[in-house]
């Protein structure tokens, strides 16, 4: 086994979907999607280093991440070592800031960051295509966090990805109503409401226009939103408050239950933060990202 010489730290950003269309429920049981992912600066941090045989996970931060064996960072490490053909001997340190079951892709991002960090720790044995192949087995949102850009279109379950040039960073806000929404439940509600029917695309996506926040704002929609907002009325009220405060995009994030707004000016965003806090929500200021987060390699003893 190579000497334990270093630790690798990767930021694991949250995502929002600037639009999200749910198409048919396919034979696999999964729904075909068409979505525009955008990474934001609210982020967890994943640090990996070589350790005793096995996979150990330490989680810091007040976010419930469920049982260790089902944690997506742990499952990423298992999958990575199976592909590598080596027994795992790794410590994973996860600092959680992204709320769970919030539509922000926190677990998926931790999973992708773990794959990136382990790949760096082992001297980059896998190229991006190989990592993407492992990613889609681990979860639908995981490939996006490995695609190399903070902005990407995705189709199908999320394994068909088109990385786009990032949009200029914009001030944003994320707010959580305090009620979780599990992704399978949100899909089930949509399927029940549609009676299994196919929802055609409302319009084709002008990919060449996705270089501009105005064009993105004109497309912004989320098919989950009306269905989940029926269960959690605070979502609709929060989206209205974001719009009133000047957000150019104001939507529920993914399958919920958090909402987000993108603003032209930080002052507008700050006004929205006050209003959402006044509504009893947990609120985070966050910028949209212009770059994929770096992988940081540290000598042991400087774990961040």
Binding site for ligand C5P (CB under 6 A): 30-31, 33, 139-140, 157, 183-184, 187
**Residue 244 C-beta: closest distance to ligand C5P, Å:** 32
Q: Which is nearer to ligand C5P, 56 or 157 (CB)?
A: 157
206 contacts 36 by C-beta, under 8 angstroms: no
DSSP letters of 133-155?
Answer: HHHHHH-TTTGGGGSSSSEEEEE
Give catalytic status of residue 244 as yes or no.
Answer: no
Give catalytic status of residue 141 as yes or no.
Answer: yes
In the block, tokens 């082992």 appear at 122
Number of residue whose CB is nearest ligand C5P: 140
Residue of 91, 110, 141, 223 marked active site: 141
**Residue 196 C-beta: closest distance to ligand C5P, Å:** 12
Q: Which is nearer to ligand C5P, 154 or 242 (CB)?
A: 154
DSSP letters of 217-263?
Answer: HHH-EETHHHHHHHH-THHHHHHHHHHHTT-SEEEE-TTSS-EEEE-
Q: Give CA separation, 246 vs 40, 144, 202, 212, 241, in Å.
A: 19, 28, 26, 17, 9
Tokens representing residue 175 in the block: 């707010």
Q: Which is nearer to ligand C5P, 47 or 71 (CB)?
A: 71
Residue of 15, 91, 110, 223 marked active site: 15
For residues 253 and 265, what is the distance between their CA atoms, to the nearest angstrom? 21
Q: Which is nearer to ligand C5P, 149 or 183 (CB)?
A: 183
In the block, tokens 């009306």 appear at 226
CA 151 to mean position of chain CA atoms: 11
For residues 87 and 152, what is the distance between their CA atoms, to the nearest angstrom? 34
**Residue 99 C-beta: closest distance to ligand C5P, Å:** 16
**Residue 172 C-beta: closest distance to ligand C5P, Å:** 23
**Residue 90 C-beta: closest distance to ligand C5P, Å:** 23
Q: Which is nearer to ligand C5P, 83 or 159 (CB)?
A: 159
Q: Which positions are catalytic? A: 15, 141
């Amino acid at each position: 086994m190579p000497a334990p010489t270093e630790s690798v730290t990767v930021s694991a950003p949250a995502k929002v979907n600037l639009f999200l269309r749910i198409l048919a429920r396919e034979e696999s049981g999964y729904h075909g999607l068409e979505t525009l992912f955008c990474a934001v600066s609210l982020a967890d941090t994943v640090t990996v280093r070589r350790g005793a045989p096995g996979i150990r996970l330490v989680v810091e931060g007040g976010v419930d991440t469920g049982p260790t064996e089902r944690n997506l960072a742990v499952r990423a490490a298992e999958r990575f070592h199976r592909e590598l053909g080596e027994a795992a001997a790794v410590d994973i340190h996860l600092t959680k800031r992204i709320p769970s079951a919030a539509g922000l892709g926190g677990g998926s991002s931790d999973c992708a960051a773990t794959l990136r960090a382990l790949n760096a720790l082992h001297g980059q044995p896998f190229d991006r295509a190989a990592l993407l192949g492992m990613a889609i087995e681990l979860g639908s949102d995981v490939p996006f966090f490995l695609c190399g850009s903070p902005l990407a279109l995705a189709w199908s379950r999320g394994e068909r990805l088109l990385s786009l040039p990032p949009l200029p960073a914009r001030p944003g806000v994320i707010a959580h109503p305090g009620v979780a929404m599990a992704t399978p439940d949100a899909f089930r509600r949509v399927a029940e409401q549609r009676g299994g029917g196919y929802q055609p695309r409302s319009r084709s996506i002008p990919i060449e226009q996705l270089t501009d926040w105005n064009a993105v704002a004109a497309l912004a929609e989320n098919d989950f939103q009306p269905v989940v907002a029926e269960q959690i009325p605070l979502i609709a009220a929060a989206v209205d408050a974001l719009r009133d405060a000047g957000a150019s995009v104001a939507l529920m994030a993914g399958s919920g239950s958090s909402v987000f707004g993108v603003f032209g000016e930080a002052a507008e965003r700050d006004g929205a933060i006050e209003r959402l806090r006044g509504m009893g929500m947990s609120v985070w200021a966050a910028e949209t990202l212009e770059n994929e987060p770096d992988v940081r390699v540290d000598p042991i003893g400087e774990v961040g």
